[in-house]
Structure 1
Amino acid sequence: MSKPHALRPAALALCLVVAIAAPHADAAKKRKPTKPAPKPVAALSACADLYGATNADWLKANPVPASGSASALGELATQARDQQRALLEAAAKSPQGQVQKLLGDFWASGMDEAAVERDGATPIAPLLARIDAIKKAQEIAPAIAALHQIGIPVVFNFTADIDLKNLDTYMGYFAQGGLGLPDASFYTRSDADARNLLGRYNGYVQKIMVLTGTPAANAAADAALVIDLETRIARASKARADLVRLRSNYNPVPTKDFTKKYRNLQLAAFLKAQGVTAEQVSMADPALFAQLDKLTTSLKPAQWKAYLRFQVGNAMAPYLSKNWRDADHEFRGRLLRGEMDPAPRTQQVLDAINASAGGMMAHAYTERYLTQDAADRAATISRHVREALEASIASNTWMDDATRAEAVAKLQKLKIEIGKPRSDLDFSVQPMGRGSFGSNILIASTWHHREEMKRIGRPNADRRWDVLPQFPALSYDLAHNRLFVTAAVLQAPVLDLKQPLAAQYGSFGALVGHELSRVADTKGRYVDAGGNLRDWWSPTTTSAWQGRIAPLQGVYARFAYPGKPDLKIDGARTLGENAADLAGLELAWTAYARQEPQAADNAQQAFFRGWARLWAQQLSSDATATHAQASPYAPGQWRANAPAMQLPAFAKAFSCKAGNALFVADGERVSIWR
C-alpha cells in the first residue's frame, strides 16, 4: 500500500525516534530484610564509567545477543507495541465507541487466519475484474485513478505535502513511482548484481501473475510485459541522487492546463477522482509525465492490463492468504530486506493496521494510555527547557546580534504539542466487519487516502504530525517550528513519574533539549521565525558554530565500541547527533538547576543517571559492525558518558578528580549552550 509523506523534504522533517523503553531495571524494589541491601553506586565508579555504573543491573540481565541488538530504548518500542495489541484485543471483545469498533473488527479479521486462507484472492477480485474489462486505451487512465483512490499508487506517485512557498498550506505532489523494484537504476544497470536482481524479480512477477489468475503457461510472457513497461518508466525517471535535494520534488504547475497537456493520462480527471480541486500542484518532472502520457496509448491495452494486475497483486500480497504472503516474503522480505523469517502474525496484523489506519489507532491509543499527569509533567519540563534555550541564545557569545535576534524570535513562536495532534480526523468510513482482512485493508487504505487528499490546497497544514502518537518519539517539525511529544514516549525510562524530578529532567528533559536545539542549529538555520525558507545565519555565526562543535569530532574518535577496543567511533559521521546530545544535556541541566538550585549531590547524581539510563544497549558483533559503519549515533556507552563528562556539574555531583576516566579539566570541556 502507499506510504504517506514520501515526498516530505528531509530538511523539513527532523525526528529523533526514541525507540524507547519499558520501566528500567534500576527501579527500587522491596527486598526481604534477611537479604543485604544493594550497595549504592560509588561516586568513583560513576567517574570511571557513568554508563556502566548506572546500567549494571540492566547489562547483567541483558547479555550480548548472538545477533541483532537489545536496548533500554528498544524495550519501550516493544512495550508500545504490546499496548497497541492489548488495545486491539480489548476492542475486538468489547469496543468502546465507533473507532474501537472499526479497529476491533479489523484486528479480529486479521487474526482469523483460517478466514484469511478461505478468502484467498477474493478481496482483490473486483479490482482484477475491472482491469480485465479494459478494452481500449481510453480506459487505462480511469483504472489508474481508481487504484490511487484505494491507496495503490500505480504508474506514478501523488501525495499531499507542505507547499514550500507557503508552509501553512498543503500541495499535491506528482512524482515518479510505479515500479516494483526500489530504485529505477535496477532496471537499466548492466552489472551482474543488477541483472541477477532483475532475474529474481522476474520470477517473483511470474508468481504474482499466476496468483492473480494468469495461466501458468502465460506467466513468463506476462512478466516480460510488466518488466518492459516498468523499464520504460524507469528510463524516463531520475536517479535517486537527484531526488534528495530539498526542492527536487517542488515545481508548481497550474492544473487548468492538464486537460490539454495530459489528454491520454487524463490528469485533470485523475485529480477530480481524488477529490482535489486545487488550482496548482507540484510536478517534479513534467518530461516524465509527458512520456507516461505517450505510453498510455502507444502500448497495447494487454500490456497495461498485465502491469496493473501485477501492481494490485504486489501491493496486496502481504495481506492475503499464505501463498501470497510466502511469495512476498521470499522476494521482498528475504531478498530485499534481509529478513530470514516472516514476523509473527500478531506483528503482521498490527503493522498492517498502523500502515492503513494509523490515525484510527492513534485516536484509540491516546484515549487509553495518555495520562493527564504525564502530559502535564511533560509540558512543564518542556517549557523549562525551552526557557533555558531562550536564555542561552540571549546570552551566548558565538552568535552575532542579528542571528541571535532571529533565533530568539523563532524560539518565542515555537509550539510544543504533547501526546497527540490538536485536531482529529474524520472517522466516517465504510463498516469493516470481521469477514475479510484483505477487504478491510482496502477500506482502511481508501479512508487514509481520502484524508490525505483533503489536505491539498487547504491552510492549517500544521495540524498533521509526522509521527504517530502510538510510537515512542520526540520530533522537531522544522517546517512549522514545533515539537511533537508522542503519547507512547511518556513512559519509563524517558518520563518515569516514579523517579525523582532530577532524573526526569536528565532523561525526558535532555531529549527535549536535543530536539529543541534544532531550532537554531545547522538544520534550523534554513527556516526563519516567519516560516520562510532561507538561511538566516551570518557567516560569522556559521564559523563560530563550527568552531564550537569541531572538537567533539576528536573527543568521540578516541572512544571504542564496547568489547571492541580497536573499533573507534567515527567522530565525523556522528558529529551532528553528538552535538545535539551535548546541547540537550546542557539545556536540561540548566532547566533543572533553575527549578532546584539548592539540590543535594544525590539529586544532581539522579539527573545524570536519568540520562545514562536511556542508553543501555547491547550489540552483537554483526550489529556492532553495522552500527560502526552507518549509524549517525555513537554507541550507548558514549551517548551517556561523552556529553556528561563535558558538564562541570557532572564532576561536581560525583566528586570526580583528575585521573578519573570521565574527568575533563575546565579549559578542555566542549560547550554549546553554556
Structure 2
Amino acid sequence: MNPRPLACVLALSVLAGLASPDALAQKKRASKAKAPAAATACSDFYANANADWLRANPLPSNAGSVSVLEQLGARSRQQQLDLLDAASKSPQGNVQKLLGDFWASGLDEAAVERDGAQPIAPLLSRIDAIKSAKDIPPAIAALHQVGIPVVFNFGADIDLDDFDRHIGYFAQGGLGLPDPAYYTRGDADTQALMARYRNYVEKILALTGTPQAQLSADTQAVLDLETRIARASKSLLDLRNPRANYAPVETKALARQYKRLQLGDFLKAQAVNDDRVSMANPQLFSQIDGLVGSLKPAQWKAYLRWRVGDSMAPYLAKPFRDAEFEFRGRVLRGLAAPPSRPQAVLDAITLAAGPMVGHEYAARYYAPATDKRAEDMAAQVREALGQALERDTRLGESAKAEAKAKLQKLKIEVGTPNRDLDYSVQPMGRGSFGSNMLIASTWRHREEMKRIGRGNADRRWDVLPQDPALAYDIAQNRLIVTAAMLQPPVFDTSKDAAWLYGAYGALVGHELSHGFDSRGRYVDSKQNLRDWWTPTEASAWDGLARRVATQYGAFDYPDAPGVKVNATQTGDENIADLAGVQLALAAFHAAEPSAATADQSFYKGWASLWPQRMNVETARQRAATSVHAPGKWRTNGPLRNEPAFATAFACKAGNAMALPADQQVRLFP
C-alpha cells in the first residue's frame, strides 16, 4: 500500500488549520457541540420505545443481524434443547422416551463413529439385490417409505380444485444438485462446480463400499442418470406458479401409463388409496419410465447407492459428515463451519420427528390458560375485522356479504394442530443414531401420507408448534398461532392488556387481513378459487396501495446508505401492518373501554416486536429480497397514520410521527 496519498491528506488538513486564525476557537466550540437530541415518541417512536433494547443489543461481530424476533427463535431452540436433554435423562411417557433415546444417540459421537455406515447397510443390501429392470421400482418405493426420495418427489399438498382435501403430488426431484440447469450449462463457473460435485459423488460412493476400481465408472453413471432426469425437468422459474404445477390425473391410469415404473404399486407401498394425484410433468415420468427399461441395472444401483449415502451422510460417521459439509455446506451454502453437535442433532430430529418434538414442547412450555386468552383475543380481533369490513366503503354489498360469510367460517387454531398424530413407532434405543434417523423418518413419511384424501386438508399445519409462527392459512381459511409464538415479546403476560393487544393482537389483525386483501380476494367463503371483487373494488384497493407505496417508498432503509424501502416489494405487508394496528386497537377499546388512557402501552407493545440491528451487507440483501419493511418502518409506518397515536403522545402538527390528516392512510373508516 502506498502511504503518500494519506500523508498528503494529513498535510492539507494541518495547513488548512494553520491558515485559519480562528481554528483553535472553532475546535474548542466543536468540542462543546451537543450530541444529537434523543429520539422522542413524536420524532421517531421506534428509536424512543426501543432505546433500552438497542443499547443492550449491539450487533455481534459474527452476525449479520440481531432482532427481537431472532432472539425469540433462539429461545425456542434452547427450549427444545432443554426438552430433549430432560427427555434423555428422565422421560415422561412413550414419546419422550423415543425422543430422549434419539437425542442421546445423536450426542454419543463415539457410538456414531463405531457405527460407521452400518445404519444404511440394509438399504444398500436391498439395492445390491437388484438383478433386472423389474426390481428397480420396488427399490425406489422402499426408499421413499423411509424418507429418502429418489428419482422423483412425492408428497401431500392441497388439492387446488378442492381445498377440503390433500392429494399426492408427483413432482420432479431425485437430483443431487438444487437446480436442474447445473447439469446442462457450459459456463466456466458451472463447470467448476460440477467438477467439485463429481468429486463429492465419488467420495460418497467410496464410503458406501464401492470398489476403488469401479469408482470412476459408477460416478459417471450417476452423473449421466441425473443429467437425463435434469434435461426432462422444468426450470426453477417454472416451478414458482402453483397452478402450472397442478395437473390432476386418475390414479388408476398410472399403472397402465407407466408400466415399467410401476406407479400404481408405488402408491400402494406408500399406503395411498386416493382416486387421483397430481402429475404436472408427465414427460419427465415418461422419460423415467423409459430409463427403467433402457439403462442397465448396474447404473441404477450406482445412482441409488449414491442417493442413500448422500441423504444419510449428515447422520453417519465423520468421513460422511465431512464430505457432505465440504460440498453442501461450504460450496453450496457458503458456510464457514458446521453447526455444533447439539444443533446438528436438533436439526436432524426436527427433520425426522419434528411433530413429536412439537407435541412435547407444547405440553412442557404452553399453558392452557395462555391458549384460552390468546384464542379469545384473536376472536375479538376477528370481530373487529367484521365490523371494519362492514364499514369499508371500497366494498359493494355483494363483496361485503361474501366477506361476512368467509369471516364467519374463519377458524382460529392456537398452540398445536387440532388433530393429533399416531405416535406408535418402532422403539429406537440409544445404540445407533443413523438407524434412529431412519426409524423416525419412516414414521414421519407414514403420517404425511395420511394427509392424502378427502377431509384431510386441515389435518396438519405447515409449521411446527415449537417454531415461532403466526400465520393465515389462505387455503383453509384459518389463523395458526404456534405454541412457541405465545411467549415474550409477542405474548408477554407480565405486561398489561393494552401491551398484549398492541403486540399479539396487532399481529393477529395483520394476518387476518390477508384473507380479505388483494390475495384473499381470490378465495371465497366456500374455499373456491375465484375473484369475488368487482373491477371497481379492485381499482379502489389499487388506489389505496399506491398511497401506501408513496409513503413507504420515501423511507430510507436503515443500515443501507443510499437505499430506500422497496414499496412495491413490501406493499402487501405494509398494508397488513396498517390493518393489524387499526384492528387490534379497535378490539382493545371494545374489550376494555375504560382503559382508553392505556393507548401509550398499546403502541409500545407494537414497537417492542421490531427492534433490530443489521450490518450493511445484510441490510442491502434484505432491502432487495424481503417482503417486509425493516423494523423501524414496521413500527413508525403504521403509527404515523394513526390519529390515536398522535393523541396518546400529544404529538403536534409537523412532528414526524403525526402526518397531516389529508396524508394519512386509513384502511377502514
Alignment of 1:552-571 (within 5 A): 552-571=548-567
Using the TM superposition, give the Cα deviation of residue 455 of structure 1 relative to its aligned residue in structure 2, in angstroms: 2.2
Aligned to 1:193: 189
In the alignment, residue 527 of structure 1 is paired with which amino acid?
A: V
Which of 364, 368, 373 is the equivalent residue of 2:369?
Answer: 373
| Structure 1 residue 616 corresponds to structure 2 residue 611 | yes
Match in the other structure for 2:47? 52
Distance 1:464 1:563, change over 3 A: closer
Structure 2 contact 560–616 (Cα < 8 Å) conserved: no
Q: Per the alignment, in what secondary structure is the counterpart of residue 494 of structure 1?
A: coil
Q: What is the distance in 2 between the residues matched to 1:551 and 1:327?
A: 53
SS at match of 2:562: strand
The whole-number CA distance in structure 2 between the counterparts of 1:122 and 1:129 is 11
Unaligned runs of 5+ in 1: 1-41
1:636 alignment counterpart = 631
Looking at structure 2, the residues matched to 199 and 507 of structure 1 have their Cα atoms a distance apart, in angstroms, of 51
CA distance in 2, matches of 1:537, 1:430: 52
Instruction: Please name the residue that 2:328 is paired with.
Output: 332
Aligned to 2:650: 655
Q: Which residue of 1 aligns with 2:664?
A: 669
Residue of 584, 587, 590 corresponding to 1:594: 590
Q: Distance in 2 between matches of 1:363 and 1:542?
A: 42
Question: How high is the TM-score relative to the length of structure 1?
Answer: 0.92
Query: Number of residues paired by the alignment?
Result: 632
Quick one: distance in 1 between partners of 2:623 and 2:434?
A: 41
Superposition map of 1:289-368 within 5 A = 289-368=285-364
**Alpha-carbon contact 1:44-1:660 (below 8 Å) kept:** no
Q: CA–CA distance in 2 between the matches of 1:507 and 1:495? A: 7
Tell me the alpha carbon deviations over residues 164-218 of structure 1, each in whole angstroms, 9 at most, x when there is no partner.
Answer: 2221112111111111110111111222222222222111111111111113343
Aligned letter for 2:647?
K
Deviation digits for residues 104-123 of structure 1 (CA, Å, limit 9, x no counterpart): 10001001111111111110
CA spacing shift, 1:257–1:595, aligned 2, 3 Å: closer
Describe how 1:29-108 pairs up with structure 2 within 5 A.
45-66=40-61, 67-108=63-104
Unaligned runs of 5+ in 2: 1-36
1:257 alignment counterpart: 253
**What's the counterpart of residue 227 of structure 1?**
223
8 Å contact 2:159–2:167 — kept in the other structure?
Answer: yes
Q: SS at 1:567's partner residue?
A: coil
1:361 partner letter: V
Percent sequence identity is: 59
How far the C-alpha of 1:280 sits from its partner, in A, is: 1.7
Give per-residue Cα distances to partners, 1:6-59, cap 9 Å, x unaligned. Answer: xxxxxxxxxxxxxxxxxxxxxxxxxxxxxxxxxxxx998111111111111111
Offset of 1:465 from its aligned partner? Answer: 0.8
Mapped partners of 1:385, 1:220: distance in 2: 63
In 2, the alpha carbon distance for the partners of 1:652 and 1:592 equals: 16
Structure 1 residue aligned with 2:536? 540
Q: How far apart are residue 539 of structure 1 and its match?
A: 0.7
Q: Tell me, yes or no, if the aligned pair for 2:559 and 2:619 is still in contact at 8 Å.
A: no
Q: Write the distance in 2 (CA, Å) between the matches of 1:197 and 1:427.
A: 42
Give, in whole Å, the separation in 2 of the partners of 1:653 and 1:564: 32
Over the aligned positions, Cα root-mean-square deviation in angstroms equals 1.4
Displaced runs of 4 or more, over 3 A:
none
| Equivalent AA in structure 2 for residue 587 of structure 1 | L
Measured in 1, the distance between the counterparts of 2:540 and 2:484 equals: 38
- 2:391, 2:668 within 8 Å by CA — same for their partners in 1? no
Structure 1 residues 389 and 363: alpha-carbon distance in aligned structure 2, compared to 1, 3 A threshold? same
For 1:441 and 1:331, the matched residues in 2 are separated by: 22
Contact persistence 2:560–2:620 (CA under 8 A) = no
Residues 62-117 of structure 1: CA distance to partner in whole angstroms, max 9, x if unpaired? 11333411001111111111111111111111111111110010001001111111
C-alpha change, 1:290 and 1:115, in structure 2 (3 Å) is same
Equivalent residue letter for 1:109 = S
Q: Equivalents in 1 of 2:199, 2:531: separation in Å?
A: 49
Aligned residue for 2:595, secondary structure, equals coil
* Structure with bigger gyration radius: 2
Instruction: Please tell me the residue identity of whatever aligns with 1:496.
Output: D
Quick one: distance in 2 between partners of 1:327 and 1:537? 54
Per-residue Cα deviation, 1:517-552 (whole angstroms, up to 9, x for no partner): 011011111110011111111111110011112112
1:551 has 2:540 as partner: no
- In 2, the alpha carbon distance for the partners of 1:368 and 1:587 equals 32
**Residue 144 (structure 1) aligns with:** 140
1:448-463 matches, within 5 Å, as 448-463=444-459
Q: 2 CA distance for matches of 1:307 and 1:566?
A: 50
Any conservation in 2 of the 1:333–1:342 contact (CA below 8 Å)?
yes
- Please give the secondary structure, in 2, of the residue aligned with 1:599: helix
Shift in Å, 1:363:
0.9
Return the letter of the residue paired with 1:166: D
**Which stretch of structure 1 is more off in the superposition, 44-53 or 74-83?**
44-53
* Deviation of the 1:599 alpha carbon: 2.8
Output the CA distance in 2 between the equivalents of 1:62 and 1:112: 35
CA–CA distance in structure 2, aligned partners of residues 372 and 331 of structure 1: 46
State the structure with bigger RCO (CA 8 A, min sep 6), 1 or 2: 1
Q: What letter is aligned with 2:523? A: V
Counterparts of 1:160 and 1:629 in 2: how far apart (Å)? 32
